[in-house]
Structure 1
Amino acid sequence: MTTPLIQHGQPRYGRFKSAPSAINIEDFKLQTPFERSISGLSASLKRQLGFKSFQFISINNQDVMIGLAIVDLGWVGNGFFYIYDKNDLKSASIQEISLLQPFAYQTHVGLPASQTQSSFQKGQFRIDIQSRNNKRVVKVTHAKQNLLEAVIETSETEPLALCSPTGATGWTYTQKQTAQIVHGQYLHHGQQFEISPAHGFLAATDDSCGFMNHKTSWHWLSVSATLKSGQRVGVNFAMGVNQTFGSENALWIDHQIFEIPPVMFERVKPTGLNDEPSWRIYSADSAIDLTVQTGWCRQESLNLGLVASHFNQWVAHVYGQINTDQHSVIFDGEMGLLEKHFAKW
């Protein structure tokens, strides 16, 4: 039996074997950095505008990467969706939709729990994500067309569930799973394609929320792949967030999770005029040493003064190895996502 995240007015910290039964933010006792309680209208505004939450989902095989997210920053809501196919890179071949809603109008992010529903809508574009019965049901529509319908099996893969202190009085909770079984279909430039394990597709989910620092930046790598050895492998590496008490770095092998030590993300300068940037990701003891070659990038740069975001998410290919006390995993060009993000929110 699991318990809620907030107990006695404060969150439980650390990595959890089982995800909390609820992210009960109304029970969190708000305080100023001077340890004074926040109540009344100030508390209501703090909960509405200071609490950030988002859900991100990726579905990919070795040729196709599908990404989508619902983001509620209080001041603004964002929904985005894209389909990248490395074998179809003619001009305007990448489908991408990204829309904003002032003050998160028609934006709802269900907090991680066994039964949640999230949605974003603007005009004819809509994202729906439902969690129920150990499944994540995803649907994306635009102009009366179903761009994506998918069902992600979440019961087999052990979750990464971590809560860390943030700043003077805040906290950040993240819940992630990678290399999950997924079935469905997607529409790419008028043609429908099947999503299934037979076609090499796997899914990753990222649910994060909290009272985060006003200015936050991070690097992130996510991989879901079936290796040539037949192992189903997932990776979640991050630098810059969730490092004050524990780490969200994790390796999944055939649905089982293993904790990974802190890593460094180091950008490698291109060697030629037309070369894309690459990254080296490594640990201090050299047990992790990866080279990440980046390609197409989804990027946004927004500066509205009070809020700002500089976001780069590259479709990438990963080479190198990860060594643990129990396993050695070798990557030879498996597809993943690498992200660099600065946010003022």
Structure 2
Amino acid sequence: MSEFFLAPVPQTVLNTQGEVGFGKFSGAIADIDWSGLAAPYQRSALWRAVHHKHWQYLALATADIFCGIAIVDVGWTNTAFAYAFDRKEKKLIASFSQDGLPGLTASINSRPALGATSHFHFLRNRIDFTGGSATGSARLTLVCGDFSIHAQLHEQQAAPALTAIGTVVGGTVHATVKSAGMPMTGEVQAAGRRYSLDDGVASTDHSNGFLARETDWRWASAHGLDVGFNLQSGYFGNNENALWLDGKLISLSAARFDFDPANPLASWHITTDDGLLDVIFQPEGCRREDKNLLIAASRYVQPIGTFSGWVKAHPAAEPRAINNLVGVTEDHFSRW
């Protein structure tokens, strides 16, 4: 069963000759810097500027509220979104979405964990994320009108992160770091109400690479403190598919998403080909956004809800039940 467990993460995505260290690893890589990339993946400066995609995403989940926050640099421009979903009332109570100005409104550095910084500032709206502080906690501050979040994510109390480094069809190379579930503290203010984050679970996603002009994916992510998973089908294959179980990080194979794209609020059935995961996702609501900017477009829906079913640490293990684990799925297409 050793093939299901992951090797320790390297320090960087490239060696001294500019060669890529492909693989799926346990732990957060220190730096994702593609500047020394060598053949056969090296491209012109113009191609890199158009195809480089870099984002920081955070999920904050409690029994009462779910928040999703993202800062996205697509090379020639940038954007950000944030939302708060009241799980009791089953509706969005706050939503922010703003396209930025190239080189001015967004900044995401190449460090996904220790020393990570991501910012989006537009007029009086701001999102600031700092990861891997000396105290072992990441910080998120969001102020967008009357919607605000002040949160600390206690990274040192979490299981190892996943680092995945691979190729993408139509692009070249890509790397992502997905955190395990981590305890958090803080507060959300939205719709005139205050929501405590103190009993909730946070997770993060830092991704950086050179993607195709048209990119699509299906994604599922859910985290508790003892169990969680990240699943993707689309542009990155099964590179980032993983299960966290009792502090251990376990590789998963290809994921199958059985759902109705025309009705994403119906249940989703998700399995992996290795027989280690079989879950049903029941949406409570969703955030969706369609954009058409002539030279770019996106279709995005992210249902929020709960997963129930089972997972296994290896094929011979007894199934471990999952009941009402909070998370999201996503159906996404971008022409960027």
TM norm. shorter chain > 0.5: yes
Distance change in 2, residues 1:13/1:159 (3 Å): same
Q: Is the 8 A contact 2:253 2:274 kept in 1?
A: no
Counterpart Cα distance in 1 of 2:264 and 2:137: 40
Q: 1:234 aligns with which of 221, 228, 235?
A: 228
For residues 242 and 89 of structure 1, the distance between their equivalents in structure 2, rounded to whole angstroms, comes to 32
Is 1:301 the equivalent of 2:301? no
- The SS at the match of 1:138 is strand
User: Shift of residue 163 of structure 1?
Assistant: 0.4
Q: How do 1:264-303 and structure 2 match up within 5 A? A: 264-268=256-260, 276-284=265-273, 286-303=275-292
Cα distance 1:184–1:287, how it changes in 2: closer, same or farther (>3 A)?
Answer: same
Show the counterpart of 2:3: none
Counterpart residue number, 2:331: 340
1:163 equivalent in structure 2: 165
Deviation at 1:141, TM superposition (A): 0.8
Alignment match, 1:207: 206
- Aligned-residue offset at 1:152: 0.7
Question: Equivalents in 1 of 2:253, 2:65: separation in Å?
Answer: 30
Distance in 2, matches of 1:179 and 1:239, equals 21
**Out of 309, 313, 321, which is 1:324 matched to?**
313
**Count of aligned positions:** 321
TM-score, scaled relative to structure 1: 0.85
Please state whether the residue corresponding to 1:11 is helix, strand or coil.
coil
The aligned counterpart of 1:10 is 19
Check 1:268–1:46 CA distance in 2 against 1; reply closer, same or farther (3 A cut).
Answer: closer
Contact 1:61 1:225 in 2 (8 A): no
Change (3 A) 1:291 1:168: closer
> Which residue number corresponds to residue 229 of structure 1?
none
Shift in alpha-carbon separation, 1:268–1:275, aligned structure 2, 3 A: closer
Query: Once the 2 structures are TM-superposed, how far is the Cα of residue 146 of structure 1 from its aligned partner?
Result: 7.0
Tell me the CA shift for residue 172 of structure 1: 1.1
Change (3 A) 1:122 1:168: closer
SS of aligned partner of 1:47: helix
Which secondary structure does the structure 2 equivalent of 1:207 belong to? strand
Deviation at residue 281 of structure 1 after TM alignment: 0.6
Q: Percent same amino acid among aligned pairs?
A: 25
Partner residue in 1 for 2:151: 150
TM score, norm. by length of structure 2: 0.87
Q: Which has the larger radius of gyration?
A: 1
Aligned counterparts of 2:143 and 2:83: Cα–Cα separation in 1: 12
Partner-residue secondary structure (3-state), 1:49: helix
What is the aligned partner in structure 2 of residue 315 from structure 1? 304
Q: What secondary structure, in the 3-state scheme, does the structure 1 residue paired with 2:265 have?
A: coil
Alignment partner of 2:282: what SS? strand
For residue 136 of structure 1, give the secondary structure of its aligned residue in structure 2. strand
Aligned pair 1:126/2:135, yes or no? no
Distance 1:169 1:344, change over 3 A: closer
Contact 1:224 1:234 in 2 (8 A): yes
Say whether the 8 Å CA contact 2:117–2:129 is kept in structure 1. yes
Report the AA paired with residue 18 of structure 2.
G
Residue 265 of structure 1 aligns to which amino acid in structure 2?
F
- Residue by residue over 1:169-200, the C-alpha shift from the partner in whole angstroms, topping out at 9 and shown as x without a partner, is 6111010013111111111222323211xx3x
1:223 aligns with 2:227: no
Report the equivalent of 1:256.
248
**Structure 2 unaligned blocks of 5 or more:** 1-8
List, as ranges, runs of 4+ consecutive aligned residues in structure 1 with deviation greater than 6 Å: none
- Tell me the CA shift for residue 237 of structure 1: 1.0
Contact 2:160–2:180 (CA under 8 A) maintained in structure 1:
no
Give the drift of 1:84. Answer: 0.7
Shift, 1:214, TM fit: 1.6
Q: 1:22 is aligned with what amino acid?
A: D
> In the aligned structure 2, how far is the partner of 1:19 from the partner of 1:285?
25
Unaligned runs of 5+ in 1: 227-231
RMSD over equivalenced CA pairs, Å: 2.5
CA distance in 2, matches of 1:16, 1:109: 22
User: What residue in structure 2 maps to residue 101 of structure 1?
Assistant: 100
Instruction: State the partner residue of 1:55.
Output: 56
When structure 1 is superposed on structure 2, of 162-171 and 291-300 the one drifting more is 162-171
